[in-house]
């Protein structure tokens, strides 16, 4: 089509009226309103604007609903019929005159597939039961992300340099748990326009700048951070879980007193362990995992062909004992620390995969994969195939309308999500389950994401299902598929409204990691291929506006700039990195980690973090002259940092030939210079007194070990122990 015909189309188009609400004046008003809205409470899911159509996503309904906007009827274009016919004829002749020859070239588009429209809530239990029947009768091998990953690994071969022991595991925690949230400003204004790189061949040799040293990058490992989940404080009272108890210690004039202990509920044939502790006002929330052992029911029931098939397929434990996993939430009123009162208890099917506190709302995710202790005898045998929860001892099965059955099922495992309002006497707000769980669920602020394998046009795809978390309500939002397999070594990231996912995409004989950016509706807005051989990639992690690609067997790291979600790109060059350590940001543009040297000395390393999230070493100091170890060596989250005091606390332990010395050393990093302020230590024979994490209550530094809580005074001149409270009996104590 020649240009004149394009001009005709354009002219015809430009005669159409543009709605008033899109005029620049009204757009200015819209943007001003948006600025005000952004300053108020986030209402991401439910919002309305005067100049914009109303959209709502109903949390309790099966699918997102959309209200129709008001229809505006514009007037006629004013074209005369004669002009339209003339213009049409002219264009028609031009099209007839132009002949275009093309070749049919098939190329896959790196965009997301249209989101599956068939992810449905079950209509009733009968539909859910039939799904199970079809799944097991089918009997064909179902591909999961894990099996597809294993295939992909065999396809491109395992690199000898891959250290599988240190492969980072996708983090299923909150943004607070992901210490990778750097204090970076991805929106930092850049005044420098993009300048094309100069042709270096034209630059005289003597004027060329020396090659810059590779930047030292420490890739954040999503650390274990176990004990971080089990300590909380309101400034006067410290709550921490240790062993079989929750200890409640109160600070009075910097003296610490153990006021009470909340024991784990002990029952026969039941094991419990604390997973999380949260504090919301005067409510202490304890999340525990529960394992009950039971005898399997007889397998000799006569259920006919289908039943016999299911008996053979299910494979109960040979010794007739099965374990049933659940997750328990107990809410205590701790307004009187001496007498904590149980307010409510809730138990949900499945092992706890994540728990997040948002104000007074607790969101909890569990994986329910060991629910079968006998073959399903029929649709009414809800215990065999329907997740459940119990509130104050009363059991409820999830209704069928709260269970989502996806299009493709590779497993009959469930992900169960619940929202609980711990400030309420009846905390259960919402509980949903998704069938086909494959072990990948991530909770970020306001949303949960579940990854599963899907197969589109005979190519490997990864399906992402998004659930909204708001006010305790859980709602299915959308599903989408992106090309490739999301390997366990590739994590999921989220910044603002954008989600980042990395998958391994097969392209003919080769494969390469690709990063996709999805918006709040899971539409792919951009993508980039990582120009690193997939067999060399050890892990991909997301931190703020940067993706870090670590290379197996080498201290190298590539980065991808995510600051513009619509245009992500790999940064040039490769940086030196040490990917085997974890890093503790202090919140003021600095951070710390411990490094063990060849001579076994341990150094505390101070780093700076720039706006891109790149970490560079500033200085380091030897922690202690006696050779020893630290609980913070493999988990930098154990380090205590305070950006206002500019101090960092390091637990350290060593054997002095007689017993173990457990030491806590405090350093200052004023003006980026590390210097020791002071320390305190204790000599014990029981490692339950080894120092671990600490919290600062505003007056005291409280250092916690499983058997003791220590209150210390810290200032620029030194550190001194004020008091201690033991939570267990000790062999002997020699405190300094």
Partner 1 sequence: MRSDFSQLVRQARKGDSEAFAKLYSEIYKDLYYYALCNLNNQDDAADAVSDAVIDAFAGIKNLKDENAFKGWMIRILTAKIKRKQAEYVQVRDNTSSMENDEGEIIDIPVSEGKYMGIEILDRIESLSPNEKMCFSLNVLYGYTSDEISAATGINSATVRTHLARGKQKLKRELSAEFE
Q: How many residues bind partner 1 (CB under 8 A)?
A: 82
Half-sphere CA count of 225, side-chain side, radius 13 A = 23
Among 2, 4, 22, 267, binds partner 1 (CB under 8 A): 22
Residue 175 or 407 with smaller CB distance to partner 1: 407
Distance CA 631, CA 642 (A): 19
Residues whose CB is less than 8 angstroms from the CB of residue 170 and which lie 6 or more positions away in sequence, other chains included: 222, 440, 442, 488, 490, 491, 492
Which burial class, exposed, middle or buried, applies to 728 when counting CB atoms under 10 A from its CB (0-12, 13-18, 19+)? Answer: middle
Span from 4-12, 166-174, 305-313, 388-396 in contact with partner 1 (CB under 8 A): 4-12
Of 663, 520, 428, residue with least CA distance to 47: 520
Long-range contacts, stretch 188-193, CB < 8 angstroms, 24+ apart: 188/611
Question: Which tokens in the block code for residue 29?
Answer: 């008003």
The residues pairing with 459 across neighbouring beta strands, listed in sequence order, are 456
Distance CA 279, CA 231 (A): 9
* Residue 521 near partner 1 by CB under 8 A: yes
Among 51, 169, 321, 685, binds partner 1 (CB under 8 A): 51
Span from 20-28, 197-205, 395-403, 426-434 in contact with partner 1 (CB under 8 A): 20-28
C-alpha distance from residue 645 to each of 289, 506, 671, 677, 688 (Å)? 37, 51, 12, 12, 29
* Residue 89 near partner 1 by CB under 8 A: yes
* Residue 117 near partner 1 by CB under 8 A: yes
Considering only residues 464 through 503, tell me which ones interact with partner 1, judged by CB under 8 A: none
* Residue 729 near partner 1 by CB under 8 A: no
* Residue 110 near partner 1 by CB under 8 A: yes
Provide the 10 A C-beta neighbour count for residue 404.
22
Residues whose CB is less than 8 angstroms from the CB of residue 122 and which lie 6 or more positions away in sequence, other chains included: 128, 131, 400, 401, 403, 404, 405
Among 57, 145, 357, 524, binds partner 1 (CB under 8 A): 524
Residue 88 or 293 with smaller CB distance to partner 1: 88
Per-residue contact flags (x/-) with partner 1 for residues 171 to 210, judged by CB under 8 A: ---------------xxxxxx-xx----------------
Considering only residues 525 through 564, tell me which ones interact with partner 1, judged by CB under 8 A: 525-527, 563-564
Span from 34-42, 124-132, 381-389, 653-661 in contact with partner 1 (CB under 8 A): 34-42
Residues whose CB is less than 8 angstroms from the CB of residue 578 and which lie 6 or more positions away in sequence, other chains included: 216, 218, 219, 555
* Residue 92 near partner 1 by CB under 8 A: yes
Considering only residues 312 through 371, tell me which ones interact with partner 1, judged by CB under 8 A: none
Among 40, 80, 82, 96, binds partner 1 (CB under 8 A): 96
Distance CA 360, CA 667 (A): 36
Question: Which tokens in the block code for residue 180?
Answer: 């990778």
- C-beta of 83: minimal distance to partner 1 in Å? 10
Among 98, 263, 281, 320, binds partner 1 (CB under 8 A): 98
Considering only residues 292 through 311, tell me which ones interact with partner 1, judged by CB under 8 A: none
Distance CA 595, CA 584 (A): 13
C-alpha distance from residue 461 to each of 167, 447, 589 (Å)? 23, 22, 38
- C-beta of 92: minimal distance to partner 1 in Å? 4
* Residue 514 near partner 1 by CB under 8 A: no
Name the 3-class secondary structure at 113.
strand
Name the 3-class secondary structure at 532.
coil
Residue 114 or 138 with smaller CB distance to partner 1: 114
Among 39, 40, 41, 71, binds partner 1 (CB under 8 A): 71
Span from 87-95, 130-138, 463-471, 690-698 in contact with partner 1 (CB under 8 A): 87-95
Residue 19 or 235 with smaller CB distance to partner 1: 19
Span from 51-59, 244-252, 295-303, 593-601 in contact with partner 1 (CB under 8 A): 51-59
Distance CA 272, CA 294 (A): 15
- C-beta of 100: minimal distance to partner 1 in Å? 5
Considering only residues 365 through 404, tell me which ones interact with partner 1, judged by CB under 8 A: none
Inter-residue contact 723 to 676 (CB < 8 Å): no
Distance CA 332, CA 337 (A): 10
Considering only residues 557 through 576, tell me which ones interact with partner 1, judged by CB under 8 A: 563-567
Span from 48-56, 328-336, 465-473, 666-674 in contact with partner 1 (CB under 8 A): 48-56
* Residue 619 near partner 1 by CB under 8 A: no
Inter-residue contact 438 to 410 (CB < 8 Å): yes
Span from 11-19, 214-222, 308-316, 374-382 in contact with partner 1 (CB under 8 A): 11-19
Residue 1 or 306 with smaller CB distance to partner 1: 1
* Residue 212 near partner 1 by CB under 8 A: no
């Amino acid at each position: 089509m020649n240009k004149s015909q394009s001009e005709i189309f354009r002219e015809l188009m430009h005669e159409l009226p543009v709605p008033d609400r899109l005029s620049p004046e009204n757009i200015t008003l819209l943007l001003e309103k948006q600025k005000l809205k952004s300053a108020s409470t986030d209402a991401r899911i439910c919002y309305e604007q005067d100049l914009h159509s109303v959209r709502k996503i109903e949390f309790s309904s099966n699918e997102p609903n959309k209200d129709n906007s008001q229809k505006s009827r514009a007037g006629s274009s004013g074209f005369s019929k004669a002009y339209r016919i003339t213009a049409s004829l002219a264009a028609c002749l031009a099209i007839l005159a132009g002949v275009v020859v093309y070749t049919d070239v098939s190329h896959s588009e790196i965009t997301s597939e249209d989101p599956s429209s068939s992810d449905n809530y079950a209509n009733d239990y009968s539909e859910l039961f039939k799904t199970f029947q079809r799944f097991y009768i089918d009997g064909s091998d179902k591909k999961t992300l894990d099996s597809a990953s294993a295939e992909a690994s065999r396809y491109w071969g395992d690199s000898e340099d891959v250290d599988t022991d240190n492969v980072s595991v996708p983090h299923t925690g909150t943004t607070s748990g992901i210490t990778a949230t750097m204090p970076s400003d991805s929106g930092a204004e850049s005044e420098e326009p993009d300048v094309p790189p100069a042709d270096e061949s034209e630059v005289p040799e003597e004027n060329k700048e020396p090659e810059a040293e590779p930047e030292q990058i420490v890739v954040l490992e999503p650390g274990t951070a176990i004990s971080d989940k089990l300590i909380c404080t309101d400034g006067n009272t410290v709550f921490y879980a240790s062993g079989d108890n929750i200890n409640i210690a109160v600070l009075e004039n910097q003296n610490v007193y153990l006021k009470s202990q909340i024991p784990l509920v002990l029952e026969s044939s039941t094991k419990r362990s604390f997973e999380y502790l949260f504090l919301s006002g005067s409510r202490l929330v304890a999340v525990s995992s529960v394992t009950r052992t039971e005898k399997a029911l007889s397998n000799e029931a006569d259920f006919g062909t289908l039943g016999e098939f299911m008996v053979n397929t299910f494979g109960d434990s040979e010794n007739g004992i099965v374990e049933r996993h659940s997750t328990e939430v107990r809410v205590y009123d701790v307004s009187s620390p001496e007498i904590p009162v149980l307010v409510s208890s809730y138990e949900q099917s499945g092992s706890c995969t994540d728990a997040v506190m948002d104000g007074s709302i607790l969101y909890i995710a569990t994986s329910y994969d060991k629910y079968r202790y006998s073959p399903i005898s029929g649709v009414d045998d809800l215990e065999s195939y329907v997740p459940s929860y119990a509130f104050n001892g009363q059991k409820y099965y999830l209704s069928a309308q709260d269970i989502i059955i996806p299009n493709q099922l590779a497993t009959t495992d469930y992900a169960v999500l619940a929202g609980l309002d711990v400030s309420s006497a009846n905390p259960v707000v919402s509980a949903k389950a998704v069938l086909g769980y494959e072990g990948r669920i991530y909770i970020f602020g306001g949303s949960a994401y579940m990854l599963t394998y899907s197969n589109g046009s005979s190519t490997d795809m990864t399906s992402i299902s998004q659930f909204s978390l708001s006010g305790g309500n859980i709602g299915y939002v959308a599903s989408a598929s992106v090309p490739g397999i999301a390997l366990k070594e590739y994590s999921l990231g989220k910044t603002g409204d954008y989600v980042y996912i990395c998958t391994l995409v097969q392209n003919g004989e080769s494969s390469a990691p690709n990063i996709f950016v999805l918006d709040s509706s899971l539409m792919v807005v951009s993508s980039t291929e990582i120009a690193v051989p997939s067999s060399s990639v050890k892990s991909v992690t997301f931190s703020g506006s940067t993706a870090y690609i670590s290379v197996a067997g080498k201290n190298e790291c590539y980065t991808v700039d995510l600051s513009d979600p619509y245009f992500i790109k790999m940064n040039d060059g490769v940086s030196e990195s040490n990917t085997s350590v974890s890093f503790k940001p202090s919140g003021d543009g600095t951070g710390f980690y411990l490094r063990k040297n060849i001579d076994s000395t341990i150094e505390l390393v101070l780093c700076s973090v720039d706006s891109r999230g790149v970490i560079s070493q500033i200085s380091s100091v030897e922690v202690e002259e006696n050779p020893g170890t630290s609980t913070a060596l493999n988990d930098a989250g154990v380090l205590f940092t305070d950006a206002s005091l500019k101090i960092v606390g390091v637990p350290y332990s060593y054997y002095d030939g007689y017993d173990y010395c457990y030491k806590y050393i405090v350093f200052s990093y004023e003006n980026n210079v590390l210097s020791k302020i002071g320390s305190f230590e204790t000599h014990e024979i029981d490692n339950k007194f080894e120092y671990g994490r600490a919290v600062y209550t505003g007056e005291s530094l409280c250092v916690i070990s499983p058997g003791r809580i220590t209150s210390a005074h810290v200032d620029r001149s030194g550190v001194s122990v004020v008091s201690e409270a033991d939570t267990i009996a000790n062999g002997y104590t020699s405190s300094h």
